[in-house]
Amino acid sequence: MKRKVLVLSMVMAVTQLTFGQTLTTNSGAPVGDNQNSKTIGQDGQVLLEDIHLIEKLAAFDRERIPERVVHARGTGAFGEFVAVADFSDVTKADFLNKAGKKTPLLVRFSTVTHQAGSPETYRDPRGFAVKFYTEQGNYDLVGNNLPVFFIRDAMKFPDMVHAFKPSPITNGASDPNRVFDFFSNIPESTHMLTWLFSDYGIPANFRQMEGNGVHAYKWVNAKGEVTYVKYKWVPQQEMRNLSQAEANAIQSTQIEHATLDLRNEIEKGNFPKWDLYVQMLKKEDFIALDFNAVDPTKIWPEKIAKLIKVGTMTLNQNPTNYFQQIEQAAFSPAILVPGIEPSEDKLLQGRLFSYSDTQRHRLGGNFQQIPVNMPKNGVNTYNENGYMSLRPQTGDVNYQPSTNKPEVKEDAKFKYSKSGFVTVTTAQSKISKPNDFAQAGDLYRSFSKKDQDALIYNLSGALKQVKNKVVVAKMIAHFYQADREYGMRLAKELNMDRKELESLMMQ
């Protein structure tokens, strides 16, 4: 009898877990907001005291070992960056303080959502991560080929990746039913989905694609003056994408065409090059915009922020050991140098924690001592011990301050910049001026007739696989709000008339 009671109790517990109405933390506390991080005011920095966000990201970072949770399929090469001018009037970053200054670097290209060994022809954003080995430490510029992203708050990132990853029941490939079920409830994704389902969603290879920092960052000069910037890598090689048919043809014979293309071209001496550009805005410029300037689902139109060339990157050396130099390469937007700081972007703020935390889980707490991740200028720190600690450490004093010997001291000129916030309340809310659809419509209208046709073909083909017609109707509504023709063409391709759409939207 006791055994039956125990089994019944377990069944009830599982039932409550499965069918309960309140989302909880891992410790069972109810969650009040699973969509918005806690910030300083509506548009300020994310607070470390948001324990639900930290727990959610930390749990997500540890889901899979040993391959990366995202960006698992990748390749890379070494090279150099040459600055085109002195930018010390806007940033203290030393690698940008002199025209002609050379900085060694490593680049890793990748697909985002699929596993190691997956085809490089999948429709997927491409990671574009650059590690600058500067004279004042490493600087990681971690971005994608596309200029925007699906979401604007790191709170949603684990859920988004779960939707892209295989079903926990079938373990099958990425399922449009799951993907669009998620995005039908995320209107801010409309802009990125328009990019992804155009031919930009399948770059021809890694050499002939753009790179984007996606997020806004702060450049800070020696006076403490802040300029907000966005980064763009423009290939000197002709940019080229694949149609779905071209991608299918390549995939039928090889799955690592982009990796081999990069390696073979470098071996032949055809060193690929990219020019790095930035756009600049001051905080006071934000007021006139009809969108939030640090929203990663938005671009900065060139009419409001022109592109300024910063320098040129050349990749001229292939790795000699893939595992040691590429698989163990660890990138994080938190790896910054004086003169470059994160903006208040809520997705970026979460990535500052999540990426480094992932590397500590994947490679160990001393991942920065792995040769490919080591700065060229040396390290002076009292951080010590842990798995695989190789940094020379001598003497009795491993703390600071100390009067027992000449200290390794901080330098006040490298303090973080001041944030211009007055007394405010904390909040969990959407950002100001979300404007979810306007830039998606602008992008659709900027496409040629051929590119619009490809977008409709690719997107309708994916939506035809979605069984829940309410999800399909919600997606069409998003694209319709971006551009009337855009939405109507999709509805026509999916054989859904206005009456049916209205009925489904009422459900």
Q: Which of 71, 215, 257, 478 is catalytic?
A: 71
Q: For residue 65, what pLDDT is reported?
A: 52
239 in Cβ contact with 272 (< 8 Å): no
Q: For residue 422, what pLDDT is reported?
A: 64
Residue boundaries of the structural domains of the chain: 70-175+203-365, 438-505
Spatial CA neighbour of 46 closest among 431, 473, 407, 493: 431
Binding-site residues from annotation for heme: 355
Place of tokens 């490298």: 414
Spatial CA neighbour of 430 closest among 149, 186, 112: 186
Helix (H) or strand (E) holding 275: strand 273-281
361 is catalytic: no
What's the mean pLDDT in 267-293?
97
What is the distance between the alpha carbons of residues 450 and 161, in angstroms, rounded to a whole number?
31
Q: Give per-residue pLDDT as tens, 355-391.
A: 999 999 999 888 899 999 999 988 888 788 888 888 8
What is the distance between the alpha carbons of residues 129 and 233, in angstroms, rounded to a whole number?
11
What is the distance between the alpha carbons of residues 105 and 139, in angstroms, rounded to a whole number?
9
71 is catalytic: yes
Q: Give per-residue pLDDT as tens, 167-207.
A: 999 988 789 999 999 999 999 999 999 999 999 999 999 99
CB atoms within 10 A of CB 146: 25
Secondary structure tally for the chain: helices H, strands E: 14, 12
Q: How confident is the model at residue 271 (pLDDT cuts 50, 70, 90)?
A: very high
Q: Give per-residue pLDDT as tens, 55-82.
A: 788 878 877 656 777 777 889 999 999 9
Q: How confident is the model at residue 339 (pLDDT cuts 50, 70, 90)?
A: very high
Q: For residue 14, what pLDDT is reported?
A: 42
Residue 447 φ then ψ, to 5°:
-70, 150
Place of tokens 């994704």: 189
Q: Which of 3-7, 92-96, 261-265, 436-440 has the lowest mean pLDDT?
A: 3-7
Q: Give per-residue pLDDT as tens, 460-473.
A: 999 999 999 999 99
Q: How confident is the model at residue 396 (pLDDT cuts 50, 70, 90)?
A: confident
Q: For residue 297, what pLDDT is reported?
A: 98
Q: Which one has a higher pLDDT value, 421 or 229?
A: 229
8 pLDDT above the threshold of 70: no
Q: What is the mean pLDDT of the chain?
A: 90
Q: Kindly report the pTM of this predicted structure.
A: 0.87
What is the distance between the alpha carbons of residues 101 and 98, in angstroms, rounded to a whole number?
6
Q: For residue 412, what pLDDT is reported?
A: 81
Q: Which two tokens stand for residue 395?
A: 């003497």
What's the mean pLDDT in 324-337?
92
CATH of domain 70-175+203-365: 2.40.180.10
Q: For residue 27, what pLDDT is reported?
A: 67
Q: For residue 11, what pLDDT is reported?
A: 41
Q: Which of 36, 52, 138, 144 is catalytic?
A: 144
| Cα 369 to Cα 39, 103, 338, 394, distances in angstroms | 33, 20, 21, 17
Q: How confident is the model at residue 408 (pLDDT cuts 50, 70, 90)?
A: confident
Widest distance between CA atoms in the chain: 82
CB atoms within 10 A of CB 269: 7
What is the distance between the alpha carbons of residues 356 and 66, in angstroms, rounded to a whole number?
15
